[in-house]
Structure 1
Amino acid sequence: MPIRDLPPFANLGEFLSHLDRSGDLVRVAEPVSLEHQMTAVHRHVLRQGGPALRFDAATDRLGHSTTMPVVANLFGTRQRVAAGLGLTLDRVEELGELLAALREPAPVEGMRDAFSRWPMLRSALATRPRLVKRAPVQHTVLEGDDVDLGRLPVQTCWPGEPAPLITWPLVITRPPETEAGDTARTNMGVYRMQVLGRDRAIMRWLAHRGGAAHHRAWAERGEAMPVAVAIGTDPATMLSAALPLPEGIAELRFAGVLRGERQALTPARTVPLMVPAEAEIVLEGWVSPTETAPEGPYGDHTGYYNAVEPFPVMRISAITMRRDPLYLTTFTGRPPDEPAVIGEVFNSLALPMIRRQIPEVVDLWLPPAACSYRMAVIAIRKRYPGQARRVMMALWGMLAQFSYTKTIIVVDDDIDPGSWSDISWALATRMDPSRDLMVIERTPIDYLDFASPEPGLGGKLGIDATNKIGAETRREWGEVLDMPPSLAEEAARFCERLALVGSKELPT
């Protein structure tokens, strides 16, 4: 089974060319300010399901034009997210099946079975990076006094924010006991970066993230941590950094599975790390073991401004760039935003992995309006009393990506978990609050959720909106109204023949 419908995109420029040929990229020649206006334009286009945007005349707060084009709304539709994975939207779940098989392969049964798995094995081999000495991202190298983050068209997204914010950085780190070329142990995550000055930025990572864990290990030694930040890579690398991968799977290597070919890496110039050779821009530097600075307030995916808190400071030792680089940006805010759109596609990608752990799960939906992960609706094939509660506890306890989901609604497989109409009907007719609510106190919760009683510690609510069977009820349960399929089809043909659909009155 091939895992791509589209050819691999070596870099951001190739992906933009694909979108341009598809009529899904617009170049904006009019001046647009990096301070608030670009976010306002981006937000409006995203809400309309519009194209990716390339701003060719971005201006700073003083009205001065920048020399570097700015790309926004790259993943503003589900179709473009799927294209970034190399697929059409309807085949995302197939990729999820392959990734689930790579994670937990079944035993091989004979030679024919082994040959049938060749595409899967080829995908696994693609995770090994390809090292190159001459990299496009190092066409221009700025070091020493030439380092200046002011050269980059970094936007300020929301009113009241204290400084420009780098919003699509792929932050590459490794633990101190590893060598620079040990890419199997590297971490690549998306952590926003507040610009502090010419060569300083704040690295905002939460304590549970991989970059923060590496920083703690370096700090225990009293050493600064080498860091590289890639801005504007090929889409598979960006989406790998955003995926909630299991521990032990390096995002830089996993990108090879998504690309369908080995990732090209090159040694950074001033820090002992490997970086994507085809990136648009790479920031190299060192994060202090002790120096921090107050970060924020910034608008976040919750739809609120974060509190001001201290986070580690990175000192930039080099900026490397392609010839005529592009700067990639986005904003975060109350959904819809790009992270929410990406999350919708990742739902389908994760479903096969979830089914391997909990086979009765038929479908799921994480409503984007609920910050993409704080609420989940799960459809199950129910067979025994108490099964809905077992599924809730399995999701919270077995799967790390649900540890911050504070509300789970479980429905039967005749309910569309992505339809609020179906969910409302199931809640109204299959759920009794005195019997079907499960509340758990003092569990890990999103640190950014200020509705919780304590930072990082709060409650969870499970709602069983399934049909009640066996010991779950002593009453006779209702029978769902329905028409025989043959009669429904006959009625559809009748209405089509008489053009009844869309008419306000019967034809005479």
Structure 2
Amino acid sequence: MRLDDYLTRLDSEHKIIHAVQGEYAPTLAARMALEQLRLGDQGCALQLHAPASAALPISLVLNTYSTEARLLRALGIGCADDLSRRVRQALDTLLQPSADWRTAWSALQEPRRQYQDRSAAFPHSLDQSASLALLPAQRNFPAETGSFLTAAVLFARDEANGITHAGIYRIGILGPRTATVHFLPGSDGERIFQRYRQREEPLPVHIALGVPASLLVAAAAPLPPQLDEISFAQWLGGPLPLVSMAGAEIPADAQIVLSGFLHPTEQQRESPFGNHTGYYTEPRPCPVFHLERMWLKARPVCQGIVTGRPPTESHVLGGVVERMLAPLLNHRLPGIVDFRFLPWGMYHGAALILLKPGTDVADILPLLRRLKPFVRSRLLVFVVSHDGLHWPPWQTALAGLDCQRGISLHDGCLVVNATGSASNGRALSTQRQKLLEQMRQKSVEFAFAWHGQQRRIAFCFASSFADARQAVEDSSPLAPDVVVVLSPHHRGGDDTTLFWRALNNVELSQGLCRVGDTLMLNALDTQPPRQPIPLW
């Protein structure tokens, strides 16, 4: 569904708050968007219209797909189970489990193309007068010194196989006709750009804003490099009319397209950005995009996403991708029944993985870590459900964890094997609670996760790791099985926020140690500490 058509439907249901750009400070608009998102189905999208004095009537919309139900509706899908069922039905055409991740994904392709005339698709175009200053770029958090396009889909043609790849990359505005492009290491965009960079040739690219929901999901999905996002988007949401631009295929239903190139050698530092990690990014050199032409609808809409602690719109997108990945993962590794990304670690590949009884974690882990969604995973928790697809709360599933033998480090990933059938942790006692309460007198405070779930996992708030370690040694053998050490100023946060902070701060290769029977994770703030974003 086109973005403008979807917004019309949302507006008819009184689910859009309308305002004028400049009526709210940029950071206030971001805060309002997050507050509305956390209202769930009762929340609204926020559409900021261009003021009457604007050179072009380009509006900015936030919270477009603030719930899973809204995103699925934009895809023409009834519910998440329907989406998983469609994937399974497509995989059934392959007849047998695949030894090839690419082969499994190839079942989710609709390669037929429909093309439109470029001038009909985009009635307005600007060349010499094209300027990034015409766009309603975002500045979401107070310490951001630049403005960004946060839901931009970059299209680049891979000359090695002729495929036009599409990916969501952060665009940082530098000036009227230049911007940084933030490629993730190992992404298709970076891989294609590096080939051109080695030859010192500019890479032609097109940046689409306000794309249909199916293409936004496809651009976020971990497709193998031999497959293209447009074919997957068409399988997911139906035909996508295309236009051809400089050999690349661009969606005709995009609201705005920025055509230009990435300079092969020029780099500029990206401004600090309030990221999903909960901290501002450290400025680092990024390739520079040079704008040559803009293509626009009559009254274009620029979509934006506000990052921050979960839940956010990014997590909604990730959740829909997860429901597609689950049957693919089961097809590739039949020992895996299902999986869930943990919201506080979704963008680090943190996941809870449900195994069939009798499946050995050691057998599937090496192959699992080679699959694109889990290559950079920082935490994988394996559990067994003995009654089919029943999902235990993952903290309850840890009842089967042997902390001495069930926690290991695998190529930078913390692997938690909780597939035991019963708790083999140390005996519980009210003495454990009383002893840890006494630690407050030593300027070290403990708080049990998940309302004291089995007294096995605790947060420790201490000024130094040495203080926390001493407190654990003093409380042995009643110390918790797992202690996550955080700085005192994080005290009082909810469990999701605390684990979100910890997963982004802990250096797994150096931050793990055992003290007696207790595993300790050092998630203290780095020195010098990174600047956290506000917890809106």
Which category describes the TM-score, using the shorter chain as reference length?
0.7 to 0.9
What amino acid is the match of 1:267?
S
SS in 2 for 1:45: helix
TM-superposed CA distance for 1:246, in Å, is 2.0
Equivalent residue number for residue 406 of structure 1: 378
Kindly indicate whether the alpha-carbon contact (under 8 Å) linking 2:20 and 2:51 is maintained by their aligned counterparts in 1.
Answer: no
TM-superposed CA distance for 1:68, in Å, is 2.1
Kindly indicate whether the alpha-carbon contact (under 8 Å) linking 2:149 and 2:171 is maintained by their aligned counterparts in 1.
Answer: yes
Distance 2:369 2:160 in 1: 33
1:141 matched to 2:93? The reply is: no
TM-superposed CA distance for 1:98, in Å, is 3.8
Distance 1:282 1:30 in 2: 23
Kindly indicate whether the alpha-carbon contact (under 8 Å) linking 2:336 and 2:355 is maintained by their aligned counterparts in 1.
Answer: yes
Equivalent residue number for residue 388 of structure 1: 361
Q: Deviations over 1:231-261 (max 9, x none)?
A: 0011111111111112211012221111222
1:356 matched to 2:331? The reply is: yes
What pairs with 1:40-79 in structure 2 (closer than 5 Å)? 40-49=31-40, 50-57=42-49, 67-79=57-69
Equivalent residue number for residue 233 of structure 1: 211
Change (3 A) 1:426 1:239: closer
Equivalent residue number for residue 439 of structure 2: none
TM-superposed CA distance for 1:372, in Å, is 4.4
Kindly indicate whether the alpha-carbon contact (under 8 Å) linking 2:349 and 2:373 is maintained by their aligned counterparts in 1.
Answer: no
Distance 1:163 1:198 in 2: 13
SS in 2 for 1:341: helix
What pairs with 1:15-30 in structure 2 (closer than 5 Å)? 15-21=6-12, 23=13, 25-29=15-19
User: Which one of 145, 160, 167 corresponds to residue 150 of structure 2?
Assistant: 167
TM-superposed CA distance for 1:286, in Å, is 0.9
TM-superposed CA distance for 1:295, in Å, is 0.6
User: Which one of 151, 158, 162 corresponds to residue 141 of structure 2?
Assistant: 158
Equivalent residue number for residue 424 of structure 1: 395
Kindly indicate whether the alpha-carbon contact (under 8 Å) linking 2:58 and 2:302 is maintained by their aligned counterparts in 1.
Answer: yes
Equivalent residue number for residue 462 of structure 1: 415
What pairs with 1:190-269 in structure 2 (closer than 5 Å)? 190-261=168-239, 263-268=240-245
Kindly indicate whether the alpha-carbon contact (under 8 Å) linking 1:73 and 1:338 is maintained by their aligned counterparts in 2.
Answer: yes
TM-superposed CA distance for 1:199, in Å, is 0.6
Distance 1:255 1:208 in 2: 22
What amino acid is the match of 2:372?
A
1:332 matched to 2:307? The reply is: yes
SS in 2 for 1:433: coil
1:308 matched to 2:280? The reply is: no
SS in 2 for 1:306: coil
Change (3 A) 1:177 1:381: closer
What pairs with 1:88-167 in structure 2 (closer than 5 Å)? 88-89=78-79, 90-101=81-92, 104=94, 106=96, 124=109, 126-144=110-128, 146-167=129-150
What amino acid is the match of 1:463?
V
Distance 1:18 1:38 in 2: 22
Distance 1:250 1:337 in 2: 27
Kindly indicate whether the alpha-carbon contact (under 8 Å) linking 2:17 and 2:45 is maintained by their aligned counterparts in 1.
Answer: yes
Distance 1:389 1:217 in 2: 37
Equivalent residue number for residue 405 of structure 2: 435
Change (3 A) 1:173 1:196: same
Distance 2:258 2:291 in 1: 7
TM-superposed CA distance for 1:128, in Å, is 2.0
Kindly indicate whether the alpha-carbon contact (under 8 Å) linking 1:303 and 1:335 is maintained by their aligned counterparts in 2.
Answer: no
TM-superposed CA distance for 1:312, in Å, is 0.6
Kindly indicate whether the alpha-carbon contact (under 8 Å) linking 1:202 and 1:313 is maintained by their aligned counterparts in 2.
Answer: yes
Q: Deviations over 1:400-454 (max 9, x none)?
A: 21111122111111489997x73333323x22212222222xx3xxxxxxxxxxx
What amino acid is the match of 2:114?
R
Q: Deviations over 1:362-385 (max 9, x none)?
A: 22111112234432111112126x
Kindly indicate whether the alpha-carbon contact (under 8 Å) linking 2:355 and 2:384 is maintained by their aligned counterparts in 1.
Answer: yes
Distance 1:415 1:461 in 2: 27
Q: Deviations over 1:117-154 (max 9, x none)?
A: xxx99975x4222122245542110002x011111111
What amino acid is the match of 1:315?
H
Distance 1:341 1:73 in 2: 10
Change (3 A) 1:339 1:266: same
Distance 1:33 1:201 in 2: 25
What amino acid is the match of 2:374?
F
What amino acid is the match of 1:422?
P
1:39 matched to 2:33? The reply is: no
SS in 2 for 1:186: strand
SS in 2 for 1:36: helix
Count of matched residue pairs: 414
What amino acid is the match of 1:389?
A
Distance 1:206 1:426 in 2: 33
What amino acid is the match of 1:258?
L
What amino acid is the match of 1:79?
A
Distance 1:24 1:375 in 2: 36
Question: Which is further off, 194-203 or 367-376?
Answer: 367-376
Question: Which is further off, 305-314 or 42-51?
Answer: 42-51
Where structure 2 has 5 or more consecutive residues not aligned to the other structure, the ranges are 98-104, 425-536
What amino acid is the match of 1:142?
L
Kindly indicate whether the alpha-carbon contact (under 8 Å) linking 1:301 and 1:371 is maintained by their aligned counterparts in 2.
Answer: no
What amino acid is the match of 1:334?
R
What amino acid is the match of 1:213?
R
Kindly indicate whether the alpha-carbon contact (under 8 Å) linking 1:137 and 1:282 is maintained by their aligned counterparts in 2.
Answer: no
Change (3 A) 1:371 1:423: closer
Q: Once superposed, what is the RMSD of the aligned Cα atoms?
A: 3.0
Runs of 4+ displaced beyond 6 Å: 63-66, 120-123, 415-419
Equivalent residue number for residue 484 of structure 1: none
Distance 1:216 1:139 in 2: 34
1:282 matched to 2:260? The reply is: no
Change (3 A) 1:373 1:301: same
- Using the aligned pairs only, state the percent identity: 25
